[in-house]
Amino acid sequence: MLGHRISRFGSAIVKQLAREGYLSATYGTRNLQRSYGHYLPSLPMVQRQTRTSQEAFFLNNHRFYTASATSSDETEKITIIFVDKDGEEIPVKVPIGMSVLEAAHENDIDLEGACEASLACSTCHVIVMDTEYYNKLEEPTDEENDMLDLAFGLTETSRLGCQVIASPELDGVRLAIPSATRNFAVDGFVPKPH
Amino acid sequence: MSRYLARYMVSRYFSSVPSRPLHVCVVGSGPAGFYTADKLLKAHEGARVDIIDRLPTPFGLVRSGVAPDHPETKIAINQFSRVAQHERCSFYGNVKLGSDLLLSELRDLYHVVVLAYGAESDKDLGIPGETLSGIYSAREFVWWYNGHPDYSGLKPDLKSTDTAVILGQGNVALDVARILLRPTTELASTDIARHALSALEESSIRKVFLIGRRGPVQAALTAKELREVLGIKNVHIRIKESDMSVTPADEEEMKNSRARKRIYELLSKAAAAAGTSKSDPDQRELHFVFFRQPDRFLESNERKGYVSGVNLEKTILDSTESGKQIAVGTGEFEDLNGSLMLKAIGYKSVPINGLPFDHKKGAVPNVSGRVVSQTLENLSQTEPGLYVCGWLKRGPVGIIATNLYCAEETVGSISEDIEKGVFKSSKAGSKGLMQLLEKREVKKVDFSGWEKIDAKEQQMGNERNKPREKLVTWKDLLAAAAAN
Ligand SMILES: Cc1cc2nc3c(=O)[nH]c(=O)nc-3n(C[C@H](O)[C@H](O)[C@H](O)COP(=O)(O)OP(=O)(O)OC[C@H]3O[C@@H](n4cnc5c(N)ncnc54)[C@H](O)[C@@H]3O)c2cc1C
Ligand SMILES: NC(=O)c1ccc[n+]([C@@H]2O[C@H](COP(=O)([O-])OP(=O)(O)OC[C@H]3O[C@@H](n4cnc5c(N)ncnc54)[C@H](OP(=O)(O)O)[C@@H]3O)[C@@H](O)[C@H]2O)c1
Ligand code: FES
């Protein structure tokens, strides 16, 4: 089973993962219900700890998704830059139509999704770092706003990662993952009183 | 040295010395316990985490608190199960801190002990008549309908009255109101305990009052849950229009909180729509009553020792320095009759021997998750290797997600202490725990034991078109866990 999964990644990465002890941390496949059905049999989660392993993913395997998706050879991709809890920027390629939550999981970005996109948890909260991009998004629905009201570290430009879907206008968007131990001293991060 | 590099080197330190793993025990397998374990396992390759729980079943309030008609919220269990199955993590149920084990023993066995055992008692109103029969805490009632083995035998009387009075207007109050009012045909396909479903099917409750001591702008409930209760079939909402007027201080509160504003707007809409509905025989009513605080419970004349109503004092709001508006009594009183009273005014944690405890807050004093033993001249002295997370740390507020960030903070403190080299001595860890439990003849239930319970419950549920039929007694739970 492990071997089967690994074959998707390319051996260079396998070596790196093995060296760093990541292989122990594989999780079962996720079951995301909404928004991007045909990516469902997603890749296993592996711990991402170094930037290098992240870059290695892309250097060595541009077709990261093609192994798990049926039709995505021609699928257009955009770049989403995640800003993780340490403030590190991690650019990832995301096919149009995929949710930000799935994109994070596919790329081992530490973003929870406790309710697996059923709009019942707010653990997939992300902060759109530039207002310009925030304004390009469709307005959140009442249901998303209800959950956002409870999100940790809510800002003016907060959204739920499971509801934001990759689209061409979002190419280059930076999305921060709120942290309990670190504040983002960057534009667009305005902690809101509850 | 960057934060990241520091963390990396720390994890190297433990992982490169496999003979010296970092032994961690997490007490409590609710969201706080599981998020703590998850973050520790991710941050420290040398960490070995044992999670113990007093119940044979994991997941804390996600199993025993979250309402049966909220299956989507319980999906969090999937992620928690993945953590429990991590090769460096073990779950041991049916092990109670404070009776099976002492805190001092755990601290001897593990480098790090994280207490995340939640809040398993209730805030008191402290008013006359509180011990009369017919008065329950929402915690007891919730544990009853969710099949918690300690309260599955509660048998609240739902047949002698048509009125239930719920004190408090938080989300727990709303959960309880919804369970009392929702058509049982809708509850039948949830994982509600069978005894509760039968009792609700025979229930004569048609009117539920939700009593808040402050106004609609301060109601503790949240928009999603309010929207849901406003939408229940055949339930008519009653709100006095006069309660909906707002003061400049209320306006200010709403300006500062979009959540408050949205809740107020939902309530206003419901108040305006009230009364337009036609009466029908199965009609049920939900009354939001604002600006009333309970003053004393009334004892029934016919049934000694039983409650027959509650005396409420009208209140007005007074602004405090911090800007918070609090309720103050006006000296005007009124009675509200009902022989089922549910107190949903908040939970409280239970202290255990050897643990510093803030009795007023009902939680453990801590700085960023480190347990504080004493504070002298503003300097906090902390207990080495002892941490808290979740409701025990913050008090009984917040949703599942709040515990994620709470765990991040606690694990951040643990990581800092690892960096400082606090955990040098060698510890027995799991092995020592196993020996101790064996000596005491404690029958622990490990994760595979829970999986047997889970499979049995799902199979029983399957036969009844429910996601699961919970086993609700200690005996049945332990038998299922031990089955071959
Ligand atoms: C009725 C109710 C409904 C809720 N509904 C929702 C909801 O729909 N959505 C949402 O996001 N949040 C909800 N919440 C809030 C959420 O459940 C809490 O934020 C969360 O469960 C708190 O996590 P915890 O781990 O601190 O405590 P808990 O979940 O209470 O976990 C504590 C664990 O410790 C164990 N334990 C207790 N004492 C001991 C001991 N001495 N030794 C060993 N183990 C012990 C218990 O068995 C339990 O498993 C609800 C809360 C309540 C009360
Ligand atoms: N679906 C969900 O997401 C969900 C479901 C259940 C619970 N939860 C969460 O779990 C936490 C606990 O919920 P909870 O309902 O137990 O607590 P809560 O939200 O703190 O609500 C407590 C209620 O009791 C009132 N109260 C407290 N002391 C009182 C007193 N002495 N006299 C009269 N009224 C009093 C409070 O009024 P004041 O405001 O005036 O103090 C408030 O209305 C909350 O954070 C809640 O959001 C979430
Ligand atoms: S994953 Fe739960 S709200 Fe997005």
- ∠ CA(A43), CA(A48), CA(A51), 5° rounding? 125
Q: Which tens digit of pLDDT belongs to each residue from B303-343?
A: 999 999 999 999 999 999 888 999 999 999 999 999 999 99
Cβ contact (<8 Å) for A123 and B400?
yes
In a domain, A82, yes or no: yes
Q: Is the CB of B169 under 6 A from ligand 2?
A: yes
Atom of ligand 2 nearest to the CA of B212: 43
Residues of B in contact with A158 (CB under 8 A): none
pLDDT at B282: 72
Question: What does the pLDDT average to over A174-184?
Answer: 83
Question: What does the pLDDT average to over A130-154?
Answer: 95
Closest CA to A49 of A23, A68, A76: A23
- Position A75 confidence tier, pLDDT thresholds 50, 70, 90: confident
Give the chain A residue whose CA is nearest to the CA of B408.
Answer: A180
pLDDT at A189: 45
- Domain tally for chain A? 1
Q: Which tens digit of pLDDT belongs to each residue from A39-62?
A: 333 333 333 333 333 333 333 333
Which domains does chain B possess? 22-120+350-443 (3.40.50.720), 121-347 (3.50.50.60)
pLDDT at B321: 87
In a domain, A131, yes or no: yes
Residue B400 is nearest to which of A114, A142, A149, comparing CB atoms? A114
Q: Enumerate the β-bridge partners of residue B348.
A: B121
pLDDT at A73: 53
Is the per-residue pLDDT at B419 higher than 80? yes
Domain limits for position A157 = 77-176
Atom of ligand 1 nearest to the CA of B34: 25
Residues of A in contact with B227 (CB under 8 A): 142, 146
Q: Is the CB of B208 under 6 A from ligand 2?
A: no
Cβ contact (<8 Å) for B82 and A142?
no
Q: From residue B273, how far is each of B211, B212, B234 by CA, in Å?
A: 20, 21, 14
Positive or negative: CA dihedral B364, B369, B373, B374: negative
Tokens 């404070």: give the residue.
B98
- Using CA atoms, how far apart are residues B395 and A167, in angstroms rounded to an integer? 42
CA of B221 to the centre of ligand 2 (A): 7
Question: What does the pLDDT average to over B273-299?
Answer: 85
- The reply to whether B399 sits in an annotated binding site is yes
In a domain, A84, yes or no: yes
B224 alpha carbon, closest ligand: 2
- Using CA atoms, how far apart are residues A4 and A14, in angstroms rounded to an integer? 12
In a domain, A26, yes or no: no
- Position B280 confidence tier, pLDDT thresholds 50, 70, 90: low
- The reply to whether B171 sits in an annotated binding site is yes
Cβ contact (<8 Å) for A146 and B404?
no
Residues of B in contact with A118 (CB under 8 A): 72, 75
Q: Which tens digit of pLDDT belongs to each residue from B233-242?
A: 889 999 999 9
Report yes or no: B407 and B36 within 8 Å, Cβ to Cβ: yes
CA of B265 to the centre of ligand 3 (A): 24
Closest residue (by CA) to atom 26 of ligand 2? B345
CATH number of the domain to which A145 belongs = 3.10.20.30
A99 alpha carbon, closest ligand: 3
ipTM computed for the complex: 0.90
Cβ contact (<8 Å) for A115 and B73?
yes
In a domain, A138, yes or no: yes
Residue B423, Ramachandran bin (φ over 0: left; ψ between -120 and 50: alpha; else beta): beta
Cβ contact (<8 Å) for A112 and B79?
yes
Q: Which tens digit of pLDDT belongs to each residue from B176-199?
A: 999 999 999 999 999 999 999 999
In a domain, A51, yes or no: no
In a domain, A1, yes or no: no
In a domain, A17, yes or no: no
For chain B, what is the mean pLDDT? 94
- The reply to whether B97 sits in an annotated binding site is yes
Question: What does the pLDDT average to over B132-148?
Answer: 98
Say which residues have a Cβ less than 8 Å from residue B215's Cβ, sequence separation at least 6.
B243, B246, B250, B290, B291, B317
Atom of ligand 1 nearest to the CA of B28: 34
Question: What does the pLDDT average to over B244-264?
Answer: 95
- Position B406 confidence tier, pLDDT thresholds 50, 70, 90: very high
